[in-house]
Structure 1
Amino acid sequence: MNTPHFYPVGTPGQPWGDNERAAWRARQVVQRSYADDVVAALNALPEAFTVVQYGDLRAGADRYPLLLAMTRDWNPTLPTALVTGGVHGYETSGVHGALQFLQNHASAYAGRVNLIVAPCVCPWGYERIQRWNHDAFDPNRSFRDGGLITESAALMAWIAARNDNLQVHLDLHETTDSDAHEFDPALASRDGKAWVPESIPDGFYVIGNSENPEPDFQKALIAAVAPITHIAPADAQGHLVGLPLQSNGVVWGESRSIGACAGFTDARFATTTEVYPDSPRTSPSECNAAQVAAVCAGLDFALSSLSPP
Protein backbone atom coordinates (compact mmCIF):
# COMPACT_ATOMS: atom_id res chain seq x y z
CA MET A 1 0.00 0.00 0.00
CA ASN A 2 1.34 3.42 -0.97
CA THR A 3 0.35 6.36 1.22
CA PRO A 4 0.47 9.66 -0.72
CA HIS A 5 0.48 12.06 2.25
CA PHE A 6 2.42 10.66 5.16
CA TYR A 7 4.87 13.16 6.69
CA PRO A 8 4.46 16.73 8.03
CA VAL A 9 7.47 18.06 6.09
CA GLY A 10 7.62 18.21 2.31
CA THR A 11 5.27 17.88 -0.64
CA PRO A 12 4.41 14.37 -1.84
CA GLY A 13 6.37 13.50 -4.96
CA GLN A 14 8.90 16.32 -4.57
CA PRO A 15 12.37 15.84 -3.03
CA TRP A 16 13.31 18.18 -0.22
CA GLY A 17 15.23 21.37 -0.76
CA ASP A 18 16.92 23.64 1.77
CA ASN A 19 13.61 24.92 3.16
CA GLU A 20 12.28 21.44 3.84
CA ARG A 21 15.53 20.35 5.47
CA ALA A 22 15.39 23.42 7.70
CA ALA A 23 11.77 22.68 8.59
CA TRP A 24 12.67 19.09 9.43
CA ARG A 25 15.64 20.23 11.53
CA ALA A 26 13.41 22.64 13.48
CA ARG A 27 11.37 19.63 14.63
CA GLN A 28 14.38 17.98 16.27
CA VAL A 29 14.75 18.56 20.02
CA VAL A 30 17.74 17.80 22.25
CA GLN A 31 16.73 15.01 24.63
CA ARG A 32 20.05 13.79 26.08
CA SER A 33 23.69 14.81 26.35
CA TYR A 34 26.59 13.41 24.32
CA ALA A 35 29.00 15.11 26.75
CA ASP A 36 27.43 13.50 29.81
CA ASP A 37 26.67 10.06 28.38
CA VAL A 38 29.58 9.43 26.01
CA VAL A 39 32.46 11.85 26.52
CA ALA A 40 32.41 11.47 30.29
CA ALA A 41 32.26 7.67 30.02
CA LEU A 42 35.22 7.59 27.64
CA ASN A 43 37.27 9.87 29.87
CA ALA A 44 36.59 7.55 32.83
CA LEU A 45 38.03 4.47 31.11
CA PRO A 46 41.00 2.71 32.71
CA GLU A 47 44.52 3.56 31.63
CA ALA A 48 44.66 0.55 29.32
CA PHE A 49 42.86 2.71 26.75
CA THR A 50 43.71 5.95 25.04
CA VAL A 51 40.92 8.32 24.06
CA VAL A 52 41.54 9.89 20.66
CA GLN A 53 39.72 12.71 18.90
CA TYR A 54 39.51 11.63 15.29
CA GLY A 55 37.33 14.47 14.04
CA ASP A 56 35.56 17.72 14.81
CA LEU A 57 31.86 17.89 13.97
CA ARG A 58 30.21 21.25 13.37
CA ALA A 59 26.42 20.95 13.14
CA GLY A 60 24.84 24.38 12.92
CA ALA A 61 25.55 26.13 16.19
CA ASP A 62 26.65 22.87 17.83
CA ARG A 63 30.16 21.44 17.89
CA TYR A 64 31.12 17.92 18.93
CA PRO A 65 34.49 16.19 19.34
CA LEU A 66 34.36 12.85 17.55
CA LEU A 67 36.01 10.42 19.94
CA LEU A 68 37.14 6.82 20.07
CA ALA A 69 39.01 4.64 22.53
CA MET A 70 41.90 2.45 21.48
CA THR A 71 44.34 0.02 23.03
CA ARG A 72 47.14 1.99 24.69
CA ASP A 73 49.79 -0.74 24.45
CA TRP A 74 49.37 -1.19 20.72
CA ASN A 75 51.05 -4.24 19.21
CA PRO A 76 51.30 -4.04 15.40
CA THR A 77 51.82 -7.80 15.16
CA LEU A 78 48.31 -8.44 16.54
CA PRO A 79 45.04 -8.29 14.58
CA THR A 80 42.89 -5.21 15.04
CA ALA A 81 39.16 -5.07 15.73
CA LEU A 82 36.90 -2.07 15.16
CA VAL A 83 33.63 -1.62 17.06
CA THR A 84 31.28 1.19 16.01
CA GLY A 85 28.07 2.37 17.63
CA GLY A 86 25.71 5.29 17.21
CA VAL A 87 26.11 5.51 13.44
CA HIS A 88 22.39 6.10 13.72
CA GLY A 89 22.36 8.26 16.82
CA TYR A 90 18.91 7.18 18.01
CA GLU A 91 19.95 3.53 18.30
CA THR A 92 20.75 3.66 21.99
CA SER A 93 22.06 0.18 22.73
CA GLY A 94 24.70 0.52 20.03
CA VAL A 95 26.20 3.46 21.92
CA HIS A 96 25.80 2.08 25.43
CA GLY A 97 26.66 -1.48 24.43
CA ALA A 98 29.97 -0.26 22.99
CA LEU A 99 30.68 1.71 26.15
CA GLN A 100 29.78 -1.23 28.41
CA PHE A 101 32.08 -3.47 26.39
CA LEU A 102 34.91 -1.00 26.96
CA GLN A 103 34.16 -0.64 30.65
CA ASN A 104 33.59 -4.28 31.57
CA HIS A 105 34.97 -6.66 28.96
CA ALA A 106 37.63 -5.12 26.74
CA SER A 107 40.47 -5.69 29.21
CA ALA A 108 40.05 -9.46 28.75
CA TYR A 109 41.38 -9.07 25.19
CA ALA A 110 44.61 -7.32 26.17
CA GLY A 111 47.59 -8.86 24.41
CA ARG A 112 45.34 -10.77 22.01
CA VAL A 113 43.87 -8.07 19.77
CA ASN A 114 44.19 -4.33 19.28
CA LEU A 115 40.85 -2.59 19.88
CA ILE A 116 39.39 0.54 18.35
CA VAL A 117 35.93 1.48 19.66
CA ALA A 118 34.01 4.48 18.31
CA PRO A 119 30.86 4.36 20.45
CA CYS A 120 28.91 7.31 19.01
CA VAL A 121 29.64 8.14 15.39
CA CYS A 122 26.72 10.61 15.09
CA PRO A 123 26.49 12.70 18.30
CA TRP A 124 24.00 15.24 16.86
CA GLY A 125 21.62 12.37 16.16
CA TYR A 126 22.31 10.79 19.54
CA GLU A 127 21.26 13.92 21.41
CA ARG A 128 18.04 14.26 19.39
CA ILE A 129 17.24 10.53 19.16
CA GLN A 130 17.37 10.89 15.39
CA ARG A 131 18.46 8.57 12.58
CA TRP A 132 19.97 11.29 10.39
CA ASN A 133 22.59 13.95 10.90
CA HIS A 134 22.07 17.72 11.08
CA ASP A 135 21.65 17.99 7.30
CA ALA A 136 19.14 15.11 7.01
CA PHE A 137 21.70 12.68 5.60
CA ASP A 138 21.85 9.06 6.72
CA PRO A 139 25.34 8.37 8.12
CA ASN A 140 24.90 4.66 7.39
CA ARG A 141 24.65 5.37 3.68
CA SER A 142 27.65 7.68 3.61
CA PHE A 143 30.67 5.42 4.19
CA ARG A 144 31.85 5.56 0.57
CA ASP A 145 33.57 7.78 -1.97
CA GLY A 146 35.87 9.18 0.68
CA GLY A 147 32.93 9.97 2.98
CA LEU A 148 29.98 12.16 2.05
CA ILE A 149 29.49 13.75 5.47
CA THR A 150 31.80 14.61 8.36
CA GLU A 151 30.58 11.76 10.58
CA SER A 152 31.63 9.12 8.06
CA ALA A 153 34.51 10.94 6.38
CA ALA A 154 36.38 11.60 9.63
CA LEU A 155 36.30 7.98 10.77
CA MET A 156 37.15 6.61 7.32
CA ALA A 157 40.11 8.95 6.97
CA TRP A 158 41.47 8.19 10.44
CA ILE A 159 41.22 4.42 9.90
CA ALA A 160 42.75 4.62 6.41
CA ALA A 161 45.72 6.67 7.62
CA ARG A 162 46.67 4.04 10.19
CA ASN A 163 46.81 1.06 7.82
CA ASP A 164 46.21 -1.40 10.67
CA ASN A 165 45.79 -5.14 10.29
CA LEU A 166 42.02 -4.74 10.62
CA GLN A 167 40.35 -8.15 10.74
CA VAL A 168 37.08 -7.54 12.63
CA HIS A 169 34.40 -4.86 12.38
CA LEU A 170 31.24 -5.03 14.47
CA ASP A 171 28.75 -2.21 13.81
CA LEU A 172 26.06 -2.04 16.51
CA HIS A 173 22.51 -1.03 15.52
CA GLU A 174 18.84 -1.28 16.45
CA THR A 175 15.61 -1.72 14.49
CA THR A 176 12.85 0.23 16.23
CA ASP A 177 9.14 0.96 15.92
CA SER A 178 10.12 4.54 15.08
CA ASP A 179 11.62 3.21 11.84
CA ALA A 180 8.07 2.45 10.72
CA HIS A 181 6.24 5.55 11.97
CA GLU A 182 8.93 8.24 11.71
CA PHE A 183 12.15 7.46 9.88
CA ASP A 184 10.88 5.47 6.89
CA PRO A 185 8.13 8.04 6.16
CA ALA A 186 10.69 10.86 6.52
CA LEU A 187 13.02 9.11 4.08
CA ALA A 188 10.28 8.70 1.49
CA SER A 189 9.26 12.33 1.92
CA ARG A 190 12.85 13.58 1.70
CA ASP A 191 13.42 11.72 -1.55
CA GLY A 192 10.03 12.54 -3.09
CA LYS A 193 8.96 8.90 -3.21
CA ALA A 194 5.88 6.98 -2.16
CA TRP A 195 6.01 5.48 1.31
CA VAL A 196 5.56 1.71 1.41
CA PRO A 197 5.20 0.58 5.07
CA GLU A 198 7.38 -2.34 6.12
CA SER A 199 7.23 -4.68 9.09
CA ILE A 200 9.74 -4.48 11.95
CA PRO A 201 11.40 -7.74 13.05
CA ASP A 202 10.76 -8.65 16.69
CA GLY A 203 14.13 -9.66 18.07
CA PHE A 204 17.87 -9.66 17.56
CA TYR A 205 19.40 -10.42 14.17
CA VAL A 206 22.58 -9.72 12.23
CA ILE A 207 23.25 -8.55 8.68
CA GLY A 208 26.39 -10.08 7.24
CA ASN A 209 28.16 -8.40 4.35
CA SER A 210 26.98 -10.16 1.20
CA GLU A 211 30.36 -9.35 -0.35
CA ASN A 212 31.97 -11.64 2.28
CA PRO A 213 29.32 -13.07 4.63
CA GLU A 214 31.43 -15.46 6.80
CA PRO A 215 28.32 -17.44 7.82
CA ASP A 216 29.89 -19.27 10.77
CA PHE A 217 30.99 -15.95 12.25
CA GLN A 218 27.42 -14.62 12.00
CA LYS A 219 26.03 -17.80 13.59
CA ALA A 220 28.42 -17.42 16.53
CA LEU A 221 26.95 -14.02 17.35
CA ILE A 222 23.41 -15.39 17.29
CA ALA A 223 24.38 -18.27 19.57
CA ALA A 224 25.90 -15.86 22.09
CA VAL A 225 22.92 -13.50 22.13
CA ALA A 226 20.13 -16.12 22.24
CA PRO A 227 20.40 -16.68 26.03
CA ILE A 228 20.06 -12.92 26.60
CA THR A 229 17.26 -11.82 24.31
CA HIS A 230 15.08 -13.47 21.69
CA ILE A 231 16.18 -13.92 18.08
CA ALA A 232 13.96 -12.43 15.38
CA PRO A 233 11.92 -14.98 13.41
CA ALA A 234 11.53 -14.64 9.66
CA ASP A 235 8.34 -13.17 8.22
CA ALA A 236 5.85 -15.14 6.13
CA GLN A 237 8.12 -14.80 3.10
CA GLY A 238 11.15 -16.15 4.97
CA HIS A 239 12.73 -12.69 5.14
CA LEU A 240 13.99 -10.17 7.68
CA VAL A 241 13.85 -6.51 6.62
CA GLY A 242 13.28 -7.69 3.06
CA LEU A 243 16.35 -9.96 2.99
CA PRO A 244 16.19 -13.77 2.72
CA LEU A 245 16.94 -15.61 5.94
CA GLN A 246 20.23 -17.52 5.67
CA SER A 247 20.12 -19.17 9.09
CA ASN A 248 18.50 -18.42 12.43
CA GLY A 249 18.67 -14.64 12.88
CA VAL A 250 21.11 -14.16 9.98
CA VAL A 251 20.62 -12.32 6.71
CA TRP A 252 23.13 -11.05 4.19
CA GLY A 253 22.96 -7.60 2.67
CA GLU A 254 25.05 -5.21 0.65
CA SER A 255 27.30 -3.05 2.79
CA ARG A 256 30.15 -1.43 0.88
CA SER A 257 28.07 -0.72 -2.24
CA ILE A 258 25.41 1.17 -0.26
CA GLY A 259 27.83 3.05 1.98
CA ALA A 260 27.03 1.16 5.17
CA CYS A 261 29.52 1.49 8.00
CA ALA A 262 30.11 -2.27 8.29
CA GLY A 263 31.45 -2.35 4.73
CA PHE A 264 33.96 0.47 4.62
CA THR A 265 36.94 -1.58 5.79
CA ASP A 266 38.51 -4.74 4.40
CA ALA A 267 37.84 -6.62 7.63
CA ARG A 268 37.29 -10.33 7.01
CA PHE A 269 34.85 -10.67 9.90
CA ALA A 270 32.24 -7.91 9.64
CA THR A 271 28.60 -7.60 10.60
CA THR A 272 25.80 -5.22 11.49
CA THR A 273 23.95 -6.18 14.68
CA GLU A 274 20.29 -5.29 15.16
CA VAL A 275 18.25 -5.44 18.36
CA TYR A 276 14.58 -4.59 18.80
CA PRO A 277 14.29 -2.44 21.94
CA ASP A 278 10.53 -1.87 21.58
CA SER A 279 9.65 -5.52 22.12
CA PRO A 280 7.73 -6.30 25.34
CA ARG A 281 9.97 -9.35 25.61
CA THR A 282 13.15 -7.39 26.31
CA SER A 283 14.50 -4.36 28.18
CA PRO A 284 17.13 -1.65 27.62
CA SER A 285 19.61 -3.47 29.84
CA GLU A 286 19.10 -6.71 27.90
CA CYS A 287 19.59 -4.87 24.61
CA ASN A 288 22.87 -3.43 25.87
CA ALA A 289 23.93 -6.86 27.10
CA ALA A 290 23.05 -8.40 23.74
CA GLN A 291 25.32 -5.93 21.97
CA VAL A 292 28.15 -6.70 24.39
CA ALA A 293 27.66 -10.44 23.93
CA ALA A 294 27.76 -10.03 20.16
CA VAL A 295 31.02 -8.07 20.34
CA CYS A 296 32.67 -10.63 22.60
CA ALA A 297 31.45 -13.56 20.50
CA GLY A 298 32.68 -11.89 17.34
CA LEU A 299 36.11 -11.28 18.80
CA ASP A 300 36.34 -14.79 20.21
CA PHE A 301 35.37 -16.40 16.91
CA ALA A 302 37.72 -14.25 14.87
CA LEU A 303 40.65 -14.80 17.21
CA SER A 304 40.07 -18.54 17.15
CA SER A 305 39.93 -18.53 13.36
CA LEU A 306 43.02 -16.35 12.99
CA SER A 307 45.15 -18.33 15.45
CA PRO A 308 47.59 -20.82 13.91
CA PRO A 309 46.45 -24.44 14.22
Structure 2
Amino acid sequence: MEWTILGAGALGCVMTGLLRQQGESVAVMLSERHRGHFHPHIEVLDITGQRQLFYSRPLFAEHAYKVECLLVLTKAYQVVDALKRLTTLPNSTPVILLHNGMGVAEQVLSLFPNNPVLAGISSHGAMKEGNWQVRHTGKGETWLGPLNEAGKAYQSLVPALAAALGHCEWSDDIAQQQLRKLAINAVINPLTACNDINNGQLLEPRFADVLAQLSEEVHDVISRLQGDKAETLSEFRRRLHKVIELTACNYSSMQQDIAQGRPSENGYISGYILQHAHPHPVPVCQQLYQEMKKREGFRT
Protein backbone atom coordinates (compact mmCIF):
# COMPACT_ATOMS: atom_id res chain seq x y z
CA MET A 1 0.00 0.00 0.00
CA GLU A 2 1.15 3.55 -0.73
CA TRP A 3 0.71 6.24 1.92
CA THR A 4 -0.16 9.72 0.67
CA ILE A 5 0.83 12.69 2.82
CA LEU A 6 -1.40 15.77 2.46
CA GLY A 7 0.48 18.65 4.05
CA ALA A 8 4.19 18.86 3.22
CA GLY A 9 5.08 20.95 6.26
CA ALA A 10 7.70 20.05 8.85
CA LEU A 11 5.87 17.11 10.42
CA GLY A 12 4.55 15.87 7.07
CA CYS A 13 8.08 15.76 5.66
CA VAL A 14 9.45 14.06 8.78
CA MET A 15 6.73 11.40 8.62
CA THR A 16 7.48 10.91 4.93
CA GLY A 17 11.10 10.27 5.82
CA LEU A 18 10.29 7.91 8.70
CA LEU A 19 7.92 5.85 6.54
CA ARG A 20 10.39 5.71 3.64
CA GLN A 21 13.11 4.63 6.05
CA GLN A 22 11.02 1.53 6.78
CA GLY A 23 10.65 0.76 3.08
CA GLU A 24 7.10 2.12 2.81
CA SER A 25 5.92 3.67 -0.46
CA VAL A 26 5.01 7.31 0.09
CA ALA A 27 3.48 10.00 -2.14
CA VAL A 28 3.11 13.68 -1.22
CA MET A 29 -0.02 15.56 -2.32
CA LEU A 30 1.22 18.99 -3.36
CA SER A 31 -0.63 22.30 -3.58
CA GLU A 32 -1.06 24.35 -6.75
CA ARG A 33 1.90 26.60 -5.92
CA HIS A 34 4.20 23.61 -6.46
CA ARG A 35 2.82 22.80 -9.91
CA GLY A 36 5.47 23.06 -12.60
CA HIS A 37 8.27 23.16 -10.04
CA PHE A 38 10.92 20.50 -9.66
CA HIS A 39 10.03 18.21 -6.74
CA PRO A 40 13.32 17.37 -4.98
CA HIS A 41 14.09 14.70 -2.45
CA ILE A 42 13.11 15.60 1.12
CA GLU A 43 16.12 16.26 3.35
CA VAL A 44 15.60 15.22 6.98
CA LEU A 45 17.99 15.96 9.83
CA ASP A 46 17.20 13.12 12.21
CA ILE A 47 17.34 12.93 16.01
CA THR A 48 20.99 11.83 15.92
CA GLY A 49 22.01 14.79 13.76
CA GLN A 50 22.45 12.82 10.54
CA ARG A 51 21.04 14.12 7.27
CA GLN A 52 19.19 11.80 4.90
CA LEU A 53 17.47 12.31 1.56
CA PHE A 54 14.12 10.62 0.89
CA TYR A 55 12.19 10.37 -2.34
CA SER A 56 8.41 10.71 -2.41
CA ARG A 57 6.15 10.57 -5.45
CA PRO A 58 4.52 13.98 -6.14
CA LEU A 59 0.74 14.06 -6.67
CA PHE A 60 -1.79 16.85 -7.27
CA ALA A 61 -5.51 17.10 -6.54
CA GLU A 62 -6.52 15.53 -9.86
CA HIS A 63 -4.61 12.39 -8.86
CA ALA A 64 -6.83 11.80 -5.82
CA TYR A 65 -8.34 8.73 -7.48
CA LYS A 66 -4.94 7.02 -7.05
CA VAL A 67 -4.77 7.54 -3.28
CA GLU A 68 -4.89 4.35 -1.22
CA CYS A 69 -4.45 5.83 2.27
CA LEU A 70 -4.49 9.56 3.06
CA LEU A 71 -2.60 11.05 6.01
CA VAL A 72 -3.75 14.65 6.51
CA LEU A 73 -1.00 16.71 8.16
CA THR A 74 -2.04 20.23 7.18
CA LYS A 75 -2.79 22.88 9.78
CA ALA A 76 -6.29 22.53 11.27
CA TYR A 77 -7.59 25.62 9.46
CA GLN A 78 -6.40 24.19 6.11
CA VAL A 79 -7.93 20.71 6.40
CA VAL A 80 -11.40 21.28 4.95
CA ASP A 81 -10.30 23.43 1.98
CA ALA A 82 -7.51 20.98 1.14
CA LEU A 83 -9.85 17.98 1.23
CA LYS A 84 -12.54 19.71 -0.85
CA ARG A 85 -10.13 19.65 -3.80
CA LEU A 86 -9.91 15.85 -3.73
CA THR A 87 -13.17 15.29 -5.60
CA THR A 88 -12.13 11.92 -7.05
CA LEU A 89 -10.94 10.36 -3.80
CA PRO A 90 -12.24 6.76 -3.75
CA ASN A 91 -14.89 5.95 -1.12
CA SER A 92 -12.69 3.07 0.03
CA THR A 93 -9.72 5.32 0.91
CA PRO A 94 -9.18 5.84 4.64
CA VAL A 95 -8.73 9.50 5.64
CA ILE A 96 -6.57 9.99 8.73
CA LEU A 97 -6.62 13.42 10.39
CA LEU A 98 -3.33 14.24 12.15
CA HIS A 99 -3.60 17.93 13.00
CA ASN A 100 -3.39 19.89 16.24
CA GLY A 101 -6.51 21.07 17.99
CA MET A 102 -10.12 19.95 17.63
CA GLY A 103 -13.25 21.06 15.82
CA VAL A 104 -12.61 19.88 12.25
CA ALA A 105 -13.75 16.25 12.32
CA GLU A 106 -17.45 16.97 11.95
CA GLN A 107 -16.91 18.84 8.68
CA VAL A 108 -14.69 16.08 7.30
CA LEU A 109 -17.28 13.43 8.13
CA SER A 110 -19.84 15.48 6.21
CA LEU A 111 -17.49 15.83 3.23
CA PHE A 112 -16.72 12.10 3.10
CA PRO A 113 -19.76 10.27 4.51
CA ASN A 114 -18.79 7.00 2.81
CA ASN A 115 -15.06 6.96 3.56
CA PRO A 116 -13.38 5.41 6.59
CA VAL A 117 -12.37 8.45 8.65
CA LEU A 118 -9.86 8.19 11.47
CA ALA A 119 -8.10 10.62 13.78
CA GLY A 120 -4.61 10.46 15.09
CA ILE A 121 -2.48 12.37 17.54
CA SER A 122 1.30 12.48 17.54
CA SER A 123 3.74 14.24 19.83
CA HIS A 124 6.69 14.02 17.45
CA GLY A 125 8.46 17.35 17.05
CA ALA A 126 9.58 18.84 13.75
CA MET A 127 10.94 22.14 12.45
CA LYS A 128 11.33 23.44 8.93
CA GLU A 129 14.88 24.49 8.09
CA GLY A 130 14.44 25.39 4.43
CA ASN A 131 12.68 24.36 1.26
CA TRP A 132 12.22 20.57 1.55
CA GLN A 133 14.60 20.57 4.53
CA VAL A 134 13.28 19.64 7.98
CA ARG A 135 14.61 18.74 11.39
CA HIS A 136 13.13 15.92 13.50
CA THR A 137 13.31 17.53 16.95
CA GLY A 138 11.68 14.91 19.16
CA LYS A 139 10.02 11.52 19.29
CA GLY A 140 6.76 10.84 21.09
CA GLU A 141 3.59 8.81 21.26
CA THR A 142 1.20 8.34 18.36
CA TRP A 143 -2.39 7.13 18.68
CA LEU A 144 -4.90 6.21 15.99
CA GLY A 145 -8.63 5.60 16.25
CA PRO A 146 -11.90 5.63 14.29
CA LEU A 147 -14.22 8.61 13.86
CA ASN A 148 -16.94 6.60 12.09
CA GLU A 149 -18.07 3.00 11.77
CA ALA A 150 -16.07 2.38 8.59
CA GLY A 151 -12.90 3.58 10.31
CA LYS A 152 -13.08 0.76 12.85
CA ALA A 153 -11.83 -1.71 10.22
CA TYR A 154 -8.41 -0.03 9.88
CA GLN A 155 -6.60 -1.10 13.02
CA SER A 156 -4.28 -2.92 10.59
CA LEU A 157 -2.60 0.44 9.81
CA VAL A 158 -1.07 0.59 13.28
CA PRO A 159 1.91 -1.82 12.89
CA ALA A 160 3.42 0.03 9.92
CA LEU A 161 3.07 3.38 11.69
CA ALA A 162 4.52 1.91 14.90
CA ALA A 163 7.54 0.60 12.98
CA ALA A 164 8.13 3.98 11.35
CA LEU A 165 7.36 6.27 14.29
CA GLY A 166 8.67 4.15 17.15
CA HIS A 167 5.24 4.07 18.81
CA CYS A 168 1.67 3.82 17.60
CA GLU A 169 -1.33 2.35 19.39
CA TRP A 170 -5.00 1.96 18.59
CA SER A 171 -7.70 3.64 20.66
CA ASP A 172 -11.39 2.88 20.26
CA ASP A 173 -12.08 6.23 21.96
CA ILE A 174 -9.65 8.50 20.14
CA ALA A 175 -11.53 11.62 21.30
CA GLN A 176 -10.18 11.01 24.81
CA GLN A 177 -6.64 10.95 23.49
CA GLN A 178 -7.31 14.11 21.48
CA LEU A 179 -8.61 15.90 24.57
CA ARG A 180 -5.54 14.86 26.57
CA LYS A 181 -3.25 16.32 23.90
CA LEU A 182 -5.41 19.41 23.47
CA ALA A 183 -5.11 20.14 27.20
CA ILE A 184 -1.31 20.16 26.96
CA ASN A 185 -1.32 22.25 23.76
CA ALA A 186 -3.77 24.77 25.22
CA VAL A 187 -1.24 25.59 27.95
CA ILE A 188 2.12 25.31 26.20
CA ASN A 189 1.33 26.70 22.75
CA PRO A 190 -0.21 30.11 23.52
CA LEU A 191 2.19 30.83 26.38
CA THR A 192 5.28 30.07 24.31
CA ALA A 193 3.91 31.90 21.27
CA CYS A 194 2.96 35.07 23.15
CA ASN A 195 6.30 35.15 25.00
CA ASP A 196 8.42 33.96 22.04
CA ILE A 197 10.18 31.28 24.08
CA ASN A 198 10.90 27.55 23.89
CA ASN A 199 8.92 25.06 25.94
CA GLY A 200 11.50 24.66 28.70
CA GLN A 201 11.45 28.34 29.59
CA LEU A 202 7.89 27.92 30.90
CA LEU A 203 9.42 26.32 34.01
CA GLU A 204 11.20 29.55 34.93
CA PRO A 205 9.84 31.15 38.15
CA ARG A 206 8.42 34.15 36.25
CA PHE A 207 5.81 31.89 34.62
CA ALA A 208 4.80 29.97 37.76
CA ASP A 209 1.62 31.94 38.48
CA VAL A 210 0.27 32.10 34.93
CA LEU A 211 1.13 28.43 34.38
CA ALA A 212 -0.80 27.48 37.53
CA GLN A 213 -3.88 29.53 36.62
CA LEU A 214 -3.98 28.55 32.95
CA SER A 215 -3.53 24.85 33.72
CA GLU A 216 -6.44 25.06 36.18
CA GLU A 217 -8.68 26.76 33.60
CA VAL A 218 -7.84 24.25 30.87
CA HIS A 219 -8.22 21.27 33.21
CA ASP A 220 -11.65 22.50 34.32
CA VAL A 221 -12.94 22.59 30.72
CA ILE A 222 -11.27 19.38 29.52
CA SER A 223 -12.31 17.37 32.58
CA ARG A 224 -15.97 18.29 32.01
CA LEU A 225 -15.65 17.07 28.40
CA GLN A 226 -13.98 13.83 29.50
CA GLY A 227 -16.48 13.01 32.23
CA ASP A 228 -15.54 10.06 34.43
CA LYS A 229 -12.34 9.48 32.40
CA ALA A 230 -10.85 12.82 33.45
CA GLU A 231 -7.59 13.04 35.37
CA THR A 232 -7.28 15.12 38.52
CA LEU A 233 -5.75 18.59 38.42
CA SER A 234 -2.59 17.35 40.14
CA GLU A 235 -2.30 14.46 37.64
CA PHE A 236 -2.71 16.87 34.74
CA ARG A 237 -0.09 19.23 36.13
CA ARG A 238 2.38 16.36 36.59
CA ARG A 239 1.81 15.28 32.98
CA LEU A 240 2.14 18.88 31.76
CA HIS A 241 5.44 19.40 33.58
CA LYS A 242 6.77 16.10 32.24
CA VAL A 243 5.94 17.15 28.65
CA ILE A 244 7.59 20.55 29.18
CA GLU A 245 10.72 18.87 30.55
CA LEU A 246 10.87 16.29 27.73
CA THR A 247 10.42 18.97 25.05
CA ALA A 248 12.38 21.70 26.82
CA CYS A 249 14.49 22.61 23.78
CA ASN A 250 11.57 22.47 21.34
CA TYR A 251 9.55 25.42 20.09
CA SER A 252 5.80 24.83 19.89
CA SER A 253 4.07 24.85 16.51
CA MET A 254 2.17 27.99 17.49
CA GLN A 255 5.38 29.80 18.46
CA GLN A 256 6.93 28.81 15.12
CA ASP A 257 3.86 30.00 13.20
CA ILE A 258 3.81 33.42 14.85
CA ALA A 259 7.60 33.85 14.62
CA GLN A 260 7.47 33.11 10.88
CA GLY A 261 4.44 35.25 10.13
CA ARG A 262 2.03 32.38 9.45
CA PRO A 263 -1.55 31.91 10.73
CA SER A 264 -1.72 29.64 13.78
CA GLU A 265 -4.14 27.00 15.06
CA ASN A 266 -5.23 29.37 17.84
CA GLY A 267 -8.92 28.93 16.98
CA TYR A 268 -8.70 25.13 17.21
CA ILE A 269 -6.72 25.06 20.46
CA SER A 270 -7.48 28.02 22.75
CA GLY A 271 -10.62 28.72 20.71
CA TYR A 272 -11.89 25.19 21.35
CA ILE A 273 -11.39 25.67 25.10
CA LEU A 274 -13.33 28.94 24.99
CA GLN A 275 -16.19 27.37 23.01
CA HIS A 276 -16.68 24.75 25.72
CA ALA A 277 -15.92 26.87 28.80
CA HIS A 278 -19.38 28.36 29.35
CA PRO A 279 -20.57 29.10 32.00
CA HIS A 280 -17.20 28.98 33.77
CA PRO A 281 -14.82 31.94 33.29
CA VAL A 282 -11.39 31.28 31.78
CA PRO A 283 -9.79 34.76 31.86
CA VAL A 284 -6.18 33.74 31.16
CA CYS A 285 -7.17 31.54 28.24
CA GLN A 286 -9.37 34.35 26.88
CA GLN A 287 -6.55 36.88 27.19
CA LEU A 288 -4.06 34.63 25.40
CA TYR A 289 -6.58 33.85 22.65
CA GLN A 290 -7.16 37.56 22.01
CA GLU A 291 -3.44 38.31 22.09
CA MET A 292 -2.82 35.59 19.49
CA LYS A 293 -5.57 36.99 17.25
CA LYS A 294 -4.00 40.42 17.54
CA ARG A 295 -0.52 39.11 16.60
CA GLU A 296 -1.89 37.21 13.63
CA GLY A 297 -3.77 40.33 12.53
CA PHE A 298 -0.61 42.41 12.60
CA ARG A 299 1.07 39.97 10.23
CA THR A 300 -1.70 39.64 7.63
Q: What's the TM-score bracket when you normalise by the shorter of the two chains?
A: 0.3 to 0.5
TM-score by length of 1: 0.33
TM-score by length of 2: 0.34
Which gives a bigger RCO, structure 1 or 2 (Cα 8 Å, sep 6+)? 1
Question: Which has the larger helix fraction?
Answer: 2
